Chain A
């Protein structure tokens, strides 16, 4: 599969010192843009993707041939209106859609990095992406937006670059990965490691893929993105193309079949080692600890206007964890709005057609953008 031809890449020449101590330079950062940058260069929105997302936010993803992961929210006339805003999204470093990641060749050994790739953090991801501003000649973004791990990047971005964005929208996220979050990620990583094909990360040289392990990781994670009520309403105990139980271990239930399908399509588009690296970056994310226990200090130098959004049925990054960010922002007198959206679609709500969410996002952006001219 030659995916490279559809991928725009910025080669970041400037050395980037990673949290793990290593320094990287001349590394590729794959990105995509939508809409156009205006003359004032003040209509740019940097979107950060979540764990398994990529730079292809909307429209048809040229690699998977499916709709972009945020097609509901981003596009002409949509919440993040590409007729109005210039949307930039980069594949995170550690990822597998063209940015510097574990499936790249190590120039020193001429072998695929695999687990020799340096462990990266949310901080590293953000510090890599800041280079896009210089590349496009943007002094200040109109907004930084992201859900889940994308939201963590929003928080880290503002903390690192307090005057580089006018508004910030962290959605369904947390300032510090909880034990439960880490536990689910570890489950996924262990599923991959338990697949014999994984070969301690060296599967590329053997031309095999730990697809079974990666599929199980995806299945487990997928459950955490949905709510019990949502699952019950969609699947209940409905059977899969059969009238009765078969007294075996085939997928009797629709939910089983659905999860298997989710697992199988995921392995076609995602690299197992990237999954390890990115989940690790999420687990290491602890903005509270970065600021010695006082999250407010992360935001004390910013004038950015925040809008924080959570969902009622999200038990992975529950409302309270989002509210903790609101509280920290209020403690330093930051400009922050907050709403919890009613939805039974779980953590995935931010990716789906949830009209109240899409409306709030659009209204916040459009009103904030109008303010600059008033």
Chain B
């Protein structure tokens, strides 16, 4: 299980209605069902992953978050989770707006492109960075809109949404991000985890 799942779970209240966008094999869904008694739905683009979710008894819709979120009415869910996929969308702004339309709150996690290993990789090798969390070559990566923790914080001001809570994951330890430590967290955080609202 990915280390951030526990952190995401801690951000969600008990018995909440939750949508997991890009729910993968349903691991987080199961975790939230067990630990938070969440009324949870998933949306997943891969047919194989949808099959795995069905085999686990999870309610999942095969679909593409970029186009298929629009079928949900406003405020259908208390929380919408988007784990490490914002960077793969053609239009991240639309996706964020959709998340916040469909859910009262959204939890977005991003692999931090500002991490020092990524920076050193580019600085010394002069090639597009390949790391544990970003294992693809530039030509076959699904990640077309990489951003840093700092970028995401700026993004919230540009397209106007509230960051209710921001956390950084460093060596499986979680810590708060605030204005004074942003530069530091942007250098050492592997993952940014944001609880956002309209």
> Taking the complex as formed, is A356 at the interface, i.e. its CB lies under 8 A from any CB of chain B?
yes
**Given A340-B62, A342-B47, A359-B51, residue A370 in contact with residue B73 (CB < 8 A):** no
Chain B min CB distance to A296 (Å): 9
Of the stretches B52-60, B82-90, B136-144, B183-191, the one at the interface is B52-60
The distance in angstroms between the C-alpha atoms of A367 and B56, with both chains bound, is 7
Interface size on A, residues (CB 8 A): 25
| Chain B, 12-59, CB within 8 A of any chain A CB | 41, 47, 50-51, 54-59
User: What is the chain B residue whose CB lies nearest that of A361?
Assistant: B54
**Given A330-B71, A330-B76, A331-B71, residue A336 in contact with residue B61 (CB < 8 A):** yes
> Taking the complex as formed, is A326 at the interface, i.e. its CB lies under 8 A from any CB of chain B?
yes
State which of B51, B63, B72, B73 has its C-beta within 8 Å of the C-beta of A360.
B51
State which of B47, B50, B51, B54 has its C-beta within 8 Å of the C-beta of A367.
B54
> Taking the complex as formed, is A233 at the interface, i.e. its CB lies under 8 A from any CB of chain B?
no
State which of B41, B54, B72 has its C-beta within 8 Å of the C-beta of A364.
B54
| Chain B, 150-185, CB within 8 A of any chain A CB | none
The 0/1 profile, CB within 8 Å of B marked 1, for residues 329-366 of chain A is 01101011111111000000000000010011001100
Do A337 and B47 have beta carbons less than 8 Å apart?
no
Residues of A within 8 A of B60 (CB): 337-339
Interface size on B, residues (CB 8 A): 18
Do A368 and B57 have beta carbons less than 8 Å apart?
yes
Residues of B within 8 A of A359 (CB): 51, 55
Do A333 and B76 have beta carbons less than 8 Å apart?
yes
Chain B min CB distance to A305 (Å): 7
Do B62 and A338 have beta carbons less than 8 Å apart?
yes
Chain B min CB distance to A168 (Å): 13
Do B55 and A367 have beta carbons less than 8 Å apart?
yes
Do A330 and B72 have beta carbons less than 8 Å apart?
yes
Do A367 and B61 have beta carbons less than 8 Å apart?
no
> Taking the complex as formed, is A16 at the interface, i.e. its CB lies under 8 A from any CB of chain B?
no
Do B57 and A371 have beta carbons less than 8 Å apart?
yes
User: What is the chain B residue whose CB lies nearest that of A368?
Assistant: B57
Residues of B within 8 A of A340 (CB): 47, 62
> Taking the complex as formed, is A24 at the interface, i.e. its CB lies under 8 A from any CB of chain B?
no
Chain A min CB distance to B69 (Å): 10
Residues of B within 8 A of A371 (CB): 57
| Chain A, 279-327, CB within 8 A of any chain B CB | 305, 307, 323, 326-327
The distance in angstroms between the C-alpha atoms of A331 and B61, with both chains bound, is 14
Chain B min CB distance to A302 (Å): 15
Do A363 and B72 have beta carbons less than 8 Å apart?
no
Do B55 and A339 have beta carbons less than 8 Å apart?
no
Residues of B within 8 A of A370 (CB): 57
The distance in angstroms between the C-alpha atoms of A368 and B41, with both chains bound, is 15
The distance in angstroms between the C-alpha atoms of A157 and B41, with both chains bound, is 24
Residues of A within 8 A of B58 (CB): 337
Do A339 and B57 have beta carbons less than 8 Å apart?
no
- Which of B51, B58, B59, B72 has the largest number of chain A CB atoms within 10 A? B59
Chain A min CB distance to B38 (Å): 13
The distance in angstroms between the C-alpha atoms of A341 and B54, with both chains bound, is 13
**Given A326-B71, A327-B71, residue A356 in contact with residue B51 (CB < 8 A):** yes
Residues of A within 8 A of B63 (CB): 323, 338
- The contact sample of 25 A-B pairs, CB cut-off 8 A, is A305-B59, A327-B71, A330-B72, A330-B73, A330-B76, A331-B71, A331-B72, A331-B73, A333-B73, A336-B61, A337-B61, A338-B63, A339-B50, A339-B51, A339-B54, A339-B62, A340-B47, A340-B62, A356-B51, A359-B51, A360-B51, A363-B54, A363-B55, A363-B57, A368-B57
Residues of chain A at the chain B interface (Cβ within 8 Å): 305, 307, 323, 326-327, 330-331, 333, 335-342, 356, 359-360, 363-364, 367-368, 370-371
Known: A337-B58, A341-B47, A359-B51. 20 other contacts (CB 8 A): A305-B59, A330-B61, A330-B71, A330-B72, A330-B73, A331-B71, A333-B73, A336-B61, A337-B61, A338-B62, A338-B63, A339-B50, A339-B54, A339-B60, A356-B47, A359-B55, A363-B55, A364-B54, A367-B56, A367-B57
Q: Which 10 A/B pairs are nearest by Cβ-Cβ distance?
A: A367-B57, A327-B71, A363-B55, A338-B61, A337-B59, A363-B54, A339-B62, A339-B50, A330-B71, A360-B54
